Structure formats: structure tokens, C-alpha cells
Structure 1
């Protein structure tokens, strides 16, 4: 019994939480959301998809390649960077990458909805970077809630069905003992508060 209590990750519920955490990781959402928005909102679809892939590269591929590289070097504990004190530099590099991509998209007149989605990711990055200087705000929850908010704006009330997924992601972070309820709730709140006005104004 002692072994089960001390090793929650071995329990079925925690295994499920681990799957949820990985499937809906911020890196994957940051890559998927520009593509979803670009394909749905831009005509021809090839134009939206092309710019969406540019956004995905700068919002996800480049920042997370740097994170994995540092994990392999041993300077980060893992790709989710569960130690708050290790988060500052990767988050700053991520912001720089998104800013470069955003500058490219604005300069070359990328479709507004795709650009707006990248702005949302940049704004979320700023918010979680500032918060994580002093507190381990849940980045998973922030990106999930921000993504859900954009989906509702883009597709309409039907996508309110995505909100239980945000709750599920929050549960996974708590179940894995990576965050407290307060950190998850605050993360989701920040995600929604940042994403909704940014996307509404810019898209």
C-alpha cells in the first residue's frame, strides 16, 4: 500500500492523467491552433495552411526544440520544466521566437486570423512568463483555456464543448502533483482573459 501511495503515476488514473498532459501539452496546442484557425478562416485554404505552418514553427517547433536540447544537456529536468526556477530562460527564448515569427507575418501581410492566433500565443507567453517569475502558474491550463476561447470565437457556441477538455487538462496537472488547484484555476483564468480580447480585436 505504501508503494502505491508514494507512486501515484503507477495508478490507472494517473496514467490517464499523464496521457492527457502529453496529448494536450502547450507545445502541441501552440502548433495545432494556428493550423485550425488558418484552415477554417482563410481562402484559399492553402494560403491559410501555409501561414499557419509558419506560425506553428515559431510558436512551437523552435521553442520546444530548444527545450528538448537543454533537457538532453541536463540543464532542464524535463520537457514540461516542472521546476519553476528553470522556466525563465526557456520562456524568454520562446517569446523571442514567437516575436520573430509575428514580425515576419505582419511584414508579409499574413491572413489576419492566423496573425491574431500568433498574437494570442505571444500574449499568453508574456503573461505566464511574468507569473512564473514568482509563482508556478499552470502553463497547460493557460494555453488550453486560451485555445478553447479562440475555438468558441472562431466556430461559435458549439465549441463550448471544448471547455470540459480544459477541466480535464487541469485535473491531469493536479493529479500528477505538478500544480495546485489554485495554480490551475489561475492559469485557466489568465488564458481566457488574455485570449478573448486579443483575438476578438485582431482577427
Structure 2
């Protein structure tokens, strides 16, 4: 009797589960990098500093003063409160993954930035800084209304990134259209990480670009 033929691994071109897992892991890592590096607080801190540098004629002292007024009240203080609340279990993580948990952070961010807005007015800040802060406040109001009234978890990552991109292109020139791929990256990351649906991300980007842009340009035209 002949010995049985040795078994041959089945290689019919089907999916490689190990390879798929590696690819999925790589995509997730790439998405997490975008979510953290291009987080709202990063844009909200960098944007006013860049705008202030441009509108003050590259005077470091004035740029730091007005840029930090907006950056601290609109980014650092709210982020500190959000991180602290997340550690205490008041909401889900420092990106506030649960929609219901977003109401308090958004309201606090508005109150903090509103204080910065008052400082700008009282201190005679450049009109562009006033308009920028008003645009951020308007986006926060609309995002808060959508989140609470419509119970729709609009992407704040997309809101801030899109609004910042529009304003930076206007203030610094068309070469900053180079930011558009980064905007797309962070928007994709939120969907890839299942933090948002595509509709929530697209809605956020439209809110940031349209509402933020309209308030910025409209107010700037009115007060200049």
C-alpha cells in the first residue's frame, strides 16, 4: 500500500487574515496620529498665533500677546478642563466620545473664549483677532445647538480644522492650501476610528468653513 500523499497548504488566493490584521492595525495607528496631532486644541492654539503674527506686522511681542489671549482662553484652559473631567469619569475620554458628555465642555469652552473676546475688545486688539474669535464663538454656538437640540454628534475635529484652514489661507495666502490634505486626513481619521460617521464629519467641515468663514469675513468687513 502506498503511503498517503503529503498535505499541501491551501493557497487558493483567499484573504490573508494575518496581513489584513496588520493592514488594519496600520490604518488605525495612522488615524490615531491624525486625531491627536490635528486635534481641535492644536488648531485652536496655533491659529491665533499665526494670525496675530501676520496682522501685527510680525511684531513678536504683540503677536504673542493677542495670539495667546485667544489661544489660552480658546484652547489651553478648555482642554485642561476636558482632560480633568475625563480623568474623573465625567465624560468619555479627552475627545469626549459620548455625545451627551459634550454639552458641558462645549459650554465651558464658549464661556472661556468669551472672556478672551472681552479682553480683546477692552485691550484694543487688531480687528482680525476680534473677528477670528467671534467666528470661533459662532461655531461653538452652532455646534452646541446641533449637539443638544438635534442630538447629532457633529465632529468638532472637522469643525475646527476646516475653519482654521479657511482663515489661514485667507490671512497667509493660497500656499496654505497645502493644509487641505491634513484637513482630509483628520476627517478620515474620525471615521476610521469609528468616532464619527461620514455625515458627522462632512457636516462639521461645512460648519467650520461656512459659518466660521462667514462670521470672520462679515465682521471684519463691518468693523474695518
TM-score of the superposition, structure 1-length normalised?
0.92
- Give distance in 2, aligned partners of 1:86 and 1:195: 24
Instruction: Show CA shifts across 1:42-86 (max 9, x none).
Output: 133321221111111100111111111111211122000000011
1:108-147 to 2 correspondences below 5 Å: 108-133=123-148, 134-147=151-164
The residue that corresponds to 1:48 in the other structure is 63
Q: Secondary structure at the match of 2:153?
A: coil
**Structure 2 residue matching 1:87: 3-state secondary structure:** helix
Corresponding residue for residue 165 of structure 1:
182
Q: How many residues align?
A: 200
Structure 1 residue 186: deviation in Å? 0.7
Residue 31 in structure 1 maps to residue 51 in structure 2: no
CA offsets 1:83-104 (integer angstroms, 9 cap, x no match): 0011001110110001111011
Look up the match of 2:32. Answer: 18
1:91 counterpart = 2:106:
yes
Considering only aligned residues, what root-mean-square deviation do their CA atoms show, in Å? 1.8
Aligned equivalent of 2:118: 103
Q: Which runs of 5+ in 1 are unaligned?
A: none
Q: Secondary structure of the equivalent of 1:82?
A: coil
- Equivalent-residue separation in structure 2 for 1:77 and 1:51 (angstroms): 32
- Equivalent residue for 1:156, pick from 154, 173, 181: 173
Q: CA deviation at 1:156?
A: 2.2
1:64 corresponds to: 79
Structure with the greater alpha carbon radius of gyration:
2
2:94 and 2:196 map into 1 onto residues whose CA distance is 16
CA distance in 2, matches of 1:155, 1:104: 25
Distance (whole Å) between structure 2 residues aligned to residue 159 and residue 200 of structure 1: 18
User: Is the Cα contact below 8 Å between 1:48 and 1:114 reproduced in 2?
Assistant: no
